[in-house]
Amino acid sequence: MAKPRIVAIDDEPEFIDMIEGYFGLRGYEINVAVRGAKGIEVIKEKSPDVVLIDLKMPGIDGDEVLKLIKSMNPSPKVIFITAYDDGGKTRARLLKMGSYACLDKPIPSLRDLEATVNKAVSK
């Protein structure tokens, strides 16, 4: 099975750079963006299997990107990676809105993230 195609959006360039390096080296097709608006363009263009998004971003943030993705067909799986923690309230809301997973920064392990990405598309 081909490796899932990924789009990652995060306003932290160093973070997105690291993600891109990790998945790229392992043969994933990955595209990145540091702004929500640009991210949406990339998603529309590449129709990825999985989207990794940061929640809190200047301009269009993760929430809005999720809504947009949910309106797409077929819609890619959405995995949030965020440092925002308000005691689980937002996480619950995002899951309810249809996101596949919510991971906290710092991510416990990149291997876990990779596993989550693969698991998301295997279903």
Partner 1 sequence: MLDFYGLSNLFATVTNLGIAFLVYTKGHNSKLARIWTLFTLCVAIYGFGGFMASGAKDYDSAFFWWRLSYVGVILLPAIFASFVYTFLETKRTFFLNTIYLVTAIVWLANIFSKTLFIGHVTLIFTDSKWFAPAWFVYPPGPLHIFHTVFLYFILLTYLFLRLVLAYKNADPLKRTQIKYFTIAMVLGFYGGGSSYLPCFGINIYPIANITVPLYTFLIAYAIIRHQLMNIEVIIKKTLVFAGLLASVFAILILPTLLIQEYILRGADTGSRMAGLAISGIIIIMSVRRIENFLINITDKYLFQKKYDYKELLKTFTAEVLTVLELDKLVNLTVNKLTDIIKLGSAAVLLFNEEKQHFNVVAAQNIKDSSVTLIRPDGIVTFMDETHGYVLMSELREKNISIPDSIQEIIDKLNAEIVIPMVLHEEVIGVLSLGKKKSDENYTQDDLDILLPLAKTLAIAISNAELFVKLGKTQAEAAQREKMAVIGTLSAGINHEICNPLGIARGQCEAFLLNLKDGLYKNKTSEELIEKAKSIMVKVIKETDRATAITKKLSGFAKPSKGEAEIIRIDKELDEVFGLVGYELRLEKIEFLKNIQKDISDLFVDKKQFQEILFNLIRNAGQAIGEKGRITITAREEGRKVYIDVQDTGSGIPEDKVKQLFNPFFTTKDPGKGTGLGLFIVRQVVEKNGGRIHLKDTKVGEGTTFRLEFPVPAREGLKVN
Closest to partner 1 by CB, 29 vs 75, is 29
122 binds partner 1 (CB under 8 A): no
84 binds partner 1 (CB under 8 A): yes
Stretch that binds partner 1, among 1-9, 43-51, 67-75, 81-89 (CB under 8 A): 81-89
21 binds partner 1 (CB under 8 A): yes
85 binds partner 1 (CB under 8 A): yes
Contact predicate 55/64, CB 8 Å: no
Stretch that binds partner 1, among 1-9, 41-49, 67-75, 84-92 (CB under 8 A): 84-92
88 binds partner 1 (CB under 8 A): no
Between helix 62-70 and helix 89-96 the angle, nearest 10°, is 20
109 binds partner 1 (CB under 8 A): yes
